[in-house]
Structure 1
Amino acid sequence: MRLYDYAASGNCFKVRLLLGLLGREYERVAVDIFAGDTLTDAFGALNPLRETPVLELSDGRRLTQSNAILWFLGEGTPFLPADPWERGLVASWLSFEQERVMGGIGGPRFRALTGRPFDAGRLDTGRGALAHLDDHLHGREWVVGGVPSIADLGLFPYVSVAGDAGLEHPPEVAAWLDRVRALPGFVDDFVTYPENARPGVARSIYDSMN
């Protein structure tokens, strides 16, 4: 199994996090998004959308989209509930992560750390996402059910670095982040954006963001 990923991407980190917690062996292939790696014909053959992560199985099949990869890897493990209702809740939280957390935290964080302008109003979405998660976690240890799931792992990366976007962690969220970090096998190899991610230097599909 091979994972094509970018170390500074929260979407990639969530997949590495699950693989680490599961103790799964895999080959990690570093993809430098802002050095133009995803613009090559070779990467285009892996994923025509030129996005990371890409999970490649030993039989050559490839899966894209981080939350789809989480679901695939979580199948048959404690990180994906067997109960249909709880599976529906997991799917709901993964959608919330892509819409509200990515849009309100991940996007503004990327722009702030790489010197790109952004609409500060987007932080209201991030602030609202943190407040909603905080309310949900009141009286709960985990987002869905009584054990950690891919819902927790999907939310963790960009929520954990909300401070980079100028947002504070409410108390229940802060305690939940600590619980995720305490899971056996947790490895935090989520790095910040390098200098080549800044506008005027970067060569990527995101160049239009400058």
Structure 2
Amino acid sequence: MKLYSMPSSGNSYKVRLLLALLGRDYEIVHVEDASPALAEAKAEGRLPFGKAPVLELDDGRLLPESNAIIYHLAEGSTYIPTDPLQRATMLSWLFWEQNQHEGVVAVRGALNFYPSRKHLATPERMADLLDRGHALLQIMEDRLKGHDWLAGDQMSVADISLYGYTHTAGARGGFDMARFPAINQWLGRIQALPGYVRIDA
């Protein structure tokens, strides 16, 4: 397999993290933001939706979108619940991550992190994203207060998906993570897993 991965992106990191936890071998193609490699991958049609990550399978087929990739890679593993309702709950967190969480938590982090986006970080926008992000993180906190994992009784790809941008929400996004002790304990559980790799590994 070949993974077209943006090293600094939480979306790409989700896939690298799952591959590490699964102990899978793969080739990586770094397509960092605004890099010649990214432009080349786009020109060659390797990024069907115009962005990373994309997983190129052994037979050459291309699978875009981080949550679709981790779902595919986790098939047959303990990261996909066998119970139908728990599996559907896992999917609901995946949809929520892309529909709600990423568009606020990740966006605020990106406006802080990437110099090319600094001009978009108006005080009004950053304040709005901060308030909305804290509200979204509280949804996770409420779930994790009484549960170790987001869906079911064991870790699933829902946890990997939400970990991607939540673990840098404080450092990159400036969110007050001290408000969320249950999230912080959850982050620690993931970081203690055998095979865990950091986003900058």
TM-score (normalised: structure 1):
0.86
Letter in 2 for 1:59: D
Tell me how far apart the structure 1 counterparts of residues 42 and 112 of structure 2 sit (CA, whole Å): 31
Change (3 A) 1:5 1:132: same
Letter in 1 for 2:39: L
Gaps of 5+ in 1: 192-210
Q: Which residue of 1 aligns with 2:156?
A: 149
Q: Give runs of aligned pairs for residues 190-209 of structure 1, distance below 5 A.
A: 190=200
Tell me how far apart the structure 2 counterparts of residues 36 and 59 of structure 1 sit (CA, whole Å): 26
Letter in 1 for 2:197: V
Q: 2:119 is matched with which residue: 109, 116, 119? A: 116
Structure 1 stretches of 4+ with a deviation exceeding 6 A read none
Other structure's SS at 1:116 match: helix
Other structure's SS at 2:28 match: strand
Q: 1:135 is matched with which residue: 137, 142, 151? A: 142
The 8 Å contact of residues 137 and 172 in structure 1, kept in 2 or not, is answered as yes
Q: Which residue of 2 aligns with 1:3?
A: 3
Q: Give runs of aligned pairs for residues 157-168 of structure 1, distance below 5 A.
A: 157-163=164-170, 164-168=172-176
The 8 Å contact of residues 47 and 54 in structure 2, kept in 1 or not, is answered as yes
- CA deviations 1:142-199 (Å, max 9, x no partner) are 11111111000000021011112110221100100000101111011347xxxxxxxx
Tell me how far apart the structure 1 counterparts of residues 89 and 44 of structure 2 sit (CA, whole Å): 33
Letter in 1 for 2:190: V
Q: 1:178 is matched with which residue: 183, 188, 191? A: 188
Tell me how far apart the structure 2 counterparts of residues 35 and 136 of structure 1 sit (CA, whole Å): 39
1:189 aligns with 2:187: no
TM-score (normalised: structure 2):
0.89
Change (3 A) 1:51 1:142: same
Tell me how far apart the structure 2 counterparts of residues 80 and 91 of structure 1 sit (CA, whole Å): 10
Other structure's SS at 1:144 match: coil
Change (3 A) 1:57 1:126: same
Q: Give runs of aligned pairs for residues 56-75 of structure 1, distance below 5 A.
A: 56-75=56-75
Other structure's SS at 1:63 match: strand
Letter in 1 for 2:175: L
Gaps of 5+ in 2: none
Change (3 A) 1:189 1:41: closer
Q: Which residue of 2 aligns with 1:79?
A: 79
- CA deviations 1:64-103 (Å, max 9, x no partner) are 0000001100110000111111111111101111122211
The 8 Å contact of residues 37 and 43 in structure 1, kept in 2 or not, is answered as no
Other structure's SS at 2:81 match: coil
Q: Which residue of 2 aligns with 1:14?
A: 14
Q: Which has the higher contact order (CA 8 A, sep 6+)?
A: 1
Deviates more, 1:96-105 or 1:59-68: 96-105
Other structure's SS at 2:78 match: coil
Give 1:29 deviation, angstroms: 1.1
Other structure's SS at 1:80 match: coil
Matched residue count: 191
Percentage of pairs with the same residue: 38
Letter in 1 for 2:151: V
